[in-house]
Structure 1
């Protein structure tokens, strides 16, 4: 399985001058995600996808000998589709802004993946997210529970024939380590106060 970190976003909701994934939480946020993937020992390869929107992140990663792939920077979905067309096998996709991600929760997630499914997205319930002081406007209903995406999916790329007709499976996993992603300055302040 390949571990793919999406790190090419603009981070516009943060309203800061620096790139979001280089914000410090003991170390730059992106390194929490990369280290968690590597330390889980679940992946044959860990790759970080950057774009023209994240030149500083790309530079820091390359200085640290982290393998990067360049995307056009046309948004998360478009950039992910661009990358998946060049890959095969199972791909664990995560956004790069999950500072609490660790190897243990990655192991739990990979064990829950059924390779018969084409696309499995991991969700947290809106109720759980709100209990952490976090909010999301991007909601999805799973088993009559209002949920939000965590930014983590596992994709069996070999089973994708047409990106428009992919059936998405959901697994709800209420865990702070995958619920806490940095979207706003308030999220970052909350992270640093915890």
Structure 2
């Protein structure tokens, strides 16, 4: 998912193309996905990020065009194009690694007797909001789950399953979504 404007970051660079440790966030997320068990990587783009769409195509990543009306609306549009199950990743997650993606896929795979190999549950990977605050990362979206305040990481498995499983991780790399200049600085620091 890389069609956002990135207005909170400021500057002229589209959010997915903001470099972290010299590499655009888009390239970092795409590399993690390519190194994972994911079969095909798509860039979900919108009219809000035309340079990101061109960047993706230059790197051989097929694009899915969405209207740019918001994350949920664009996700639904993309799901209509690529189908389910699918791993979704926000491009503003620059410290994503292949093992994060593979762990989410493993958590989503149904282990019930008699299930097909391609049967998956939906999974939302979250971190404790307290971890984001302790690191100094922005925590724009949080929710309560079993008495704990959690923040979605931007890594999900979306399937046709009726329920969504919440998977909690304490990995600081997944606690940093780059939404503001301070988040970019934190991501840079964690790259070291």
Q: TM-score range by the shorter chain?
A: 0.7 to 0.9
Q: Secondary structure at the match of 1:86?
A: helix
CA distance in 2, matches of 1:118, 1:109: 10
Instruction: Give the equivalent residue in structure 2 for 1:36.
Output: 32
- Counterpart selection for 2:139 from 129, 136, 141: 136
How far off is 1:144 after superposition?
1.0
- Is 1:178 matched up with 2:181? no
How far off is 1:87 after superposition?
3.2
- Is 1:10 matched up with 2:5? yes
Query: Does structure 2 retain, via aligned residues, the 8 Å contact 1:93–1:154?
Result: yes
Instruction: Give the equivalent residue in structure 2 for 1:95.
Output: 90
Structure 1 moving runs of 4+ over 6 Å: none
CA distance in 2, matches of 1:189, 1:111: 31
- Counterpart selection for 1:21 from 16, 22, 25: 16
Q: Deviations over 1:70-127 (max 9, x none)?
A: 1011110000011112333310011011111111222222111144665321110011
Query: Does structure 2 retain, via aligned residues, the 8 Å contact 1:105–1:177?
Result: no
What pairs with 1:22-171 in structure 2 (closer than 5 Å)? 22-25=17-20, 26-40=22-36, 42-115=37-110, 118-157=121-160, 159=161, 167-171=163-167
Q: Secondary structure at the match of 1:122?
A: strand
CA distance in 2, matches of 1:137, 1:44: 31
Query: Does structure 2 retain, via aligned residues, the 8 Å contact 1:117–1:169?
Result: no
- Counterpart selection for 2:189 from 182, 186, 193: 193
Query: Does structure 1 retain, via aligned residues, the 8 Å contact 2:122–2:165?
Result: yes
Query: Does structure 1 retain, via aligned residues, the 8 Å contact 2:108–2:121?
Result: no
> How many residues get paired?
181
- In the alignment, structure 1 segments of 5+ residues that lack a partner are 1-5, 160-165
CA distance in 2, matches of 1:80, 1:89: 12
Instruction: Give the equivalent residue in structure 1 for 2:113.
Output: none
CA RMSD of aligned residues (A): 1.6
Q: Secondary structure at the match of 1:109?
A: helix
CA distance in 2, matches of 1:119, 1:109: 10
- In the alignment, structure 2 segments of 5+ residues that lack a partner are 111-118
Greater fraction strand: 1
TM normalised by structure 1 equals: 0.86
